[in-house]
Amino acid sequence: DIQMTQSPSSLSASVGDRVTITCRASQGIRDDLAWFQQKPGKAPQRLIYTASYLQSGVPSRFSGSGSGTEFTLTISSLQPEDFATYYCLQHNSYPWTFGQGTKVEI
């Protein structure tokens, strides 16, 4: 199974900060990676697909990069509505696996 190691598990930030979250895959997954945002009591929503493509309707302050084993989600200027938990997902091979999540707090 491919392990996805996501870091940090939580972070404190302020409005306007630049935030970076990393996912490392235990083996190469090409660019078969997505990023999701989840707010309390809600289903996750996809932000990024194929590692770097912005989901339609998602603000351009979100961006993704990486390929192979190392991937990054960046929020260029954190907004109040961005305080949430973020997950990566590899769908290169079965079983699909998620990162452990990063909780972004004030």
Partner 1 sequence: EVQLVESGGGLVQPGGSLRLSCAASGFTFNAYWMTWVRQTPGQGLEWVANIDQEEIEKYYVDSVKGRFTISRDNAKDSVYLQMNSLRIEDTGVYYCLRGAQVWGQGTLVTVSS
Task: State how far Cα 12 lies from the chain centre.
Answer: 16
In whole angstroms, the minimum distance from the beta carbon of 36 to partner 1 comes to 8
Which of 12, 45, 77, 79: binder of partner 1 (CB under 8 A)? Answer: 45
Q: Which of residues 13-32 bind partner 1 (CB under 8 A)?
A: none
Task: For residue 90, count other CB atoms closer than 10 A to its CB.
Answer: 24
Nearer to partner 1, 24 or 76 (CB): 24
10-12 and 102-105 beta bridge pairing: parallel
Which of 23, 49, 51, 66: binder of partner 1 (CB under 8 A)? Answer: 49
Encoded tokens for 67: 């390929």
